[in-house]
Amino acid sequence: MSWHSDDTGGPDRRQEPWPDDDALALELAAALEEQELLERVTASAGTAFSVHRGVLALREQLDTELFLLTLVHDSSTEGRLVGVRDRSGQPPRTLVFQGDGVGVELEVGDRSVEGQLIPARAGHVVLRRPDGDVAQVDTDEVGYFRIDARPQGPVRLVCTSDAGTCVTEWLSW
């Protein structure tokens, strides 16, 4: 609704002042109802948009969860042997994740993570925390990679190759 003096508002629009206060009140109430309707439609659209974005995010998460790799070996749960050349006296932690015909072997050191995709093939590996990606690297032709980072807290690897994308379980290092 425009408040310009040249706005006629259409053929059935009143041009004279309201005949009484009741007529003015009815027109004001109708205008307020239109505003309430607009606010409800806007709020509903915002809710629908948020739900749609959530469904898209969930679908993406479900797609990757279908290729979840399970931890099948963790050297930290076994008796440790002291390495001969290791100055810290602790060998690197080795982890093996496996899924349906795919996997990744890792060696977690003090300052880096090295690993290889199984079966051996070129790919891309992302080190991810719940709040975002920490590092990413392309593997060589046999699937070997090295990430020079060792974040604290829960992390997972997202491994992509021509066979598809797989993710490891969340793990604290």
Q: Give the confidence band of 88 by pLDDT, cuts at 50, 70, 90.
A: low
DSSP annotation of 114? E
Q: How far is residue 93's CA from residue 5's CA, in Å, rounded to a whole number?
A: 79
Tokens of 84: 């001969």
Query: What pLDDT digit, counting tens, does each position of 7-37 carry?
Result: 555 555 555 678 888 887 888 788 777 878 8
User: Would you state the pLDDT for residue 84?
Assistant: 47
Query: What pLDDT digit, counting tens, does each position of 35-61 carry?
Result: 788 788 888 888 888 777 776 776 666
The answer to whether residues 71 and 97 touch, using CB atoms and an 8 Å cutoff, is yes
Averaged pLDDT for residues 99-127: 91
Q: How far is residue 160's CA from residue 84's CA, in Å, rounded to a whole number?
A: 35
Range of weakest confidence among 59-68, 99-108, 137-146, 148-157 = 59-68
Give which of 171, 69, 169 is closest to 117, Cα–Cα.
69
